[in-house]
Amino acid sequence: MAVDLLHQRAVRLWSPSSLAPARQARDGDQRIPVDFTGLALLITWVGALQIMLDKGKDLDWFDSPSIVALAVIAVIGFIPS
């Protein structure tokens, strides 16, 4: 009995319909504006950090000017807008 209840809750929790945001049609719905500055900084931060971590070992970490530049870009991209 308890296993069935847990299974039902798990299925409801992880079903695709529960993962989608709840949206109700309303008159006068307005679109939520996108923070393009924040999005650009997030992409820059994650990209620079990922490249820095991937290439760091091959380029001898902070002895390489490329890694230092990527680290500076990652820090600037991490600063909240």
pLDDT digits (tens, 9 = 90+) for 14-55: 555 555 555 565 666 778 888 898 888 889 899 999 999 999
Structural domain includes residue 10: no
Structural domain includes residue 1: no
Structural domain includes residue 14: no
Contact 42, 77 (CB under 8 A): yes
Rounded CA separation 60/73 (Å): 18
Rounded CA separation 53/46 (Å): 10
Q: The pTM is what?
A: 0.57
Q: Domain range spanning residue 62?
A: 35-81
Structural domain includes residue 19: no
Number of structural domains the chain divides into: 1
Structural domain includes residue 7: no
